[in-house]
Structure 1
């Protein structure tokens, strides 16, 4: 359930999506792909305020490297364990330090290889938890472009990222 990031990078790193559920950098699926909150929900404004505060904390935490696990309430912990989350890939790419001249990335999956640009990887997301559970079928992660253009057809089963 780990993912190797190798190739034209200064630092080869290993990603473990199993520990991301309590990582402050994770983003809720709806937040990542711009689904608006429903106006039919009587708690919509309260929910919007909660999400705004959470987003502000996440943006602040992204400036701290590595992220610090803050103390969370039991209620928040239970809510986290019900959500569907994506992890922005950009912080990991910045830590690996892609070398000059690298233009493409190969996502090695259980069903083959997919070639994308470095920019597409940097702006992309990994889906790592659905309903609070790790992705086991076709996992450990699914890759989504940052613009959500492949929301219906993600690249599933990413096992290795090779920068070329």
Structure 2
């Protein structure tokens, strides 16, 4: 059996901090969106992905891939978004076996109304702490790690 490639002190410190960020950031984003817009971060992400898509519409399977969610989890979240008239599901015009999720006008208005406060919060908790050079480094680091985590480029951020 080969000896594990243990982390050196610098790698260990970086790893501990990265883990802390991955644990603290989601709740910070959820708390702000819940307080200000009545949304979870995942719900916001679904609305945002639809708002940035052609025709504000995506197949549910593509939306699941973009958000790294199971179809079951996505379906539950979309059902909640449908209750608020922010999203509708409908069969694809091209393939009746495919279910499409479409952002409604009310959903578009919700994302337009929510985005300024959300981006301000993102700036406050992430980008205001970084120099322009660190932002470039963060983008490159995230891209490099994403290539390892998503070699098939299923997530929209990996493309």
Relative contact order, higher structure (CA 8 A, sep 6+): 1
State whether TM-score is above 0.5.
no
Higher helix residue share: 2
TM-score by length of 2: 0.32
TM-score by length of 1: 0.31
Higher strand residue share: 1
